[in-house]
A and B are shown apart, each in its own frame.
Chain A
Amino acid sequence: MIPTTALATASMAAAAEPSPVLALANTPVLWICALGVFLVVAVQSVIYMKAARKAAPSVGMTPQELRTSFRTGAIAAVGPSLAVVLVAIALLALFGTPATLVRIGLIGSVSFETAAASIAAGTTGAELGGPTYTPQVFAIVFFAMSMGGAMWMLATLILTPLLQRGGHKLEKVNPALMTVVPAAALLGAFISLGLAEVPKSPVHVITLLTSAAVMGLCLVLARVPGLRWLREWGLGIAILVGLTAAYLAHSAGLGPVG
C-alpha cells in the first residue's frame, strides 16, 4: 500500500518548499467547509444531549448518570483520539490542513482516506506525493475521498430508518431480542476485529496481548477504592503501553515485512 513512501516523499518535499498543491489546499473556502463540518458535529451533539436529558427521567436515569456517561465517553476517547491525531498529521503534507481536518473529522479513517486517495490518483496516472501530484490531481483525489465518505453517510441515511422499522417489528415478537442481540453483536465485532490482527505479524499479536493484559490489570486494580479512575483511563493507558510494546517489538525487527 502507498502510505509510507508517498507520505515520506510528500513530507520531505513539503519541508523543502511550499508546493502549489498545498497553496491550493489551504484556500479559505476549504477552511470554511472544515469549520462547517466541525460545527455540524457539535450542533448534533448538543441536540442529542438535550434530547437525552429530556428522556432520562422516563427511564429512571439521573442527571448524574448522564454526566458520568458523557465524561466517561470523553476520557475513553482520549487514547484513540491521540493515536488518530498522530497518524493524521502525516496527511497534512499531502492534503493540507483543512482537507485533512474534514476527511479525518468526518467519517473516514486514515487508512481509508489514503487508500481511496491512492486509488483515485492512480486513475489519473499520478502518484500521491510524487512529481506528478499536481493541484488538478489533488482536486480529483479530494473529490473521490469526499464522495467515499458521502456514500457511507448516504447508506446510513437510507438504511437506518429501514432497520429501525425492522427492529421494532422484531421487538414486538420478543423483547429479549433487543437485549441479547446488541451484546452478542458487540462481542462479535470486537473479537472479529481483534483476531483479524493476529495473522498480520508477531508484533500485532504482542500488541493485542499487551494491551489486553494492561486493560485487565487496570480493571482489577480499579476495584481498589481510590483507584476508580482506572476504569475510565484504563483504555488510554492500555493503548499507550500496547503501542510502546509495539514500538519496541517493531524496532527489534519483528514487524511485517515491506
Chain B
Amino acid sequence: MTATLTGPQTTAGMGEFERTTSRWGRLTMIAGLVFSLAGPLYLVFFADLGVTATQLFTAFAAVAGTFFVIWLVEPLTYFPILGSASMYQAFMIGNISNKLLPAALIAQSSIGAKPGTPRGSLAAVMAICGAAAVHLVSLFVFVGLLGTWLISVIPPDVTEVVRIYVLPSVMGAVIIQAIVSLKQVRATIVAFVVAVLVLFVLVPLVPSLAMVATAIVVLTTLVIGWFVRKREAGAGRDATPEVP
C-alpha cells in the first residue's frame, strides 16, 4: 500500500512500482489460471473418459456451494494487510496465513519497516518472493522428486499429526512475532477482545458465520483499532505517520 507521505520522489517511485506490479501481477495470475485449468480440461476433452458436462457442472456447483463465501471473503480480508502488489503474489501461491504473512512480517521486522509504509510494502514483496522460492523448491524436491520415497519412510501417524496441528503450531509463533514487532498495544488488546467475542460468543449464537469469523474479526479490529489509535499528545491530531 503506498502512502503519499513525503516528497514527489517517493510517490513517483511507488507509483511506478504499483503500475508495474498491477500489470504484471494480473498477467502472471491469468497465466497461472490458464495453466492450472489446462490440465483438467485436457483430461476432460482428450483423455476419452466419457465425462459429461453435467457431471462437471454438478461437481463444481457442489464445491462452489461450500466455498464461494471464502473465495469472496479472503481477498477482502487480506487486502488491508497485503496491499495490491502482494495480493497477486499471495493468491497465486496460497498458504497466505501460515507462510506468506509470517514471512512478510518477520522481514519487515528485520529491517525495521512498518506494514503499510512504502518500505514495508517493498520488504513484504521481497519476503514473499523469498518464501515463494522456498515454497517451489521444497515442493519440487520433496513432493516432485522424493515424494513417493518419503511416503514409504515417514510413518503415517507423523503425517497425521502434522496435518492436524500445523496451523496452531504456526499461529502460536506468529502471534508472538506480530505482537513483538508491531508494538501496537491497543490494536493487540482490541484484536484479542474482538476475537474472543466473535469466536466464543457470536459464532456459537449464529453458526452460519463460522466461515467468515476471521473476516469479521479483522474488519472489526481494523475499525475499532482506528478509533482507539494513539494520537499525538496535546493537539489531538494523529501521530505523524512514519516517514518510510
Contact = CB atoms under 8 A, between A and B. Distances in A.
Indicate whether A and B interact: yes
A4 B133 CA distance: 30
Contacts of A92: 143, 147-148, 151
Contacts of A149: 36
Interface string A40-61: 1111110111011011111111
Nearest to A108: B94
A86 interface: yes
Interface footprint category on B: 35 or more
24 contacts: A36-B35, A41-B132, A41-B136, A54-B17, A73-B103, A83-B166, A85-B142, A90-B163, A98-B39, A102-B35, A116-B66, A136-B51, A144-B59, A147-B63, A147-B64, A148-B64, A148-B71, A167-B79, A175-B3, A190-B178, A193-B214, A197-B167, A208-B172, A231-B106
DSSP majority for the B interface? helix
A86 B3 contact: no
A84 interface: yes
Contacts of A128: none
A60 B244 contact: yes
A188 B134 contact: no
Interface in A168-188: 171-172, 174-188
Nearest to B160: A4
A57 B161 contact: no
A76 B102 contact: yes
Nearest to B187: A184
Contact of A192 (B13, B125, B172, B214): B214
A69 B199 contact: no
B71 A151 contact: yes
Contacts of A58: 9-10, 12-14
B182 A194 contact: no
A186 B182 contact: yes
B20 A51 contact: yes
A70 B217 CA distance: 30
Contacts of B214: 188-189, 192-193, 196
Given A69-B107, A136-B50, A186 B35 contact: no
Nearest to B20: A51
Contacts of A110: 163
A242 B143 contact: no
Contacts of B105: 186
Nearest to A134: B49
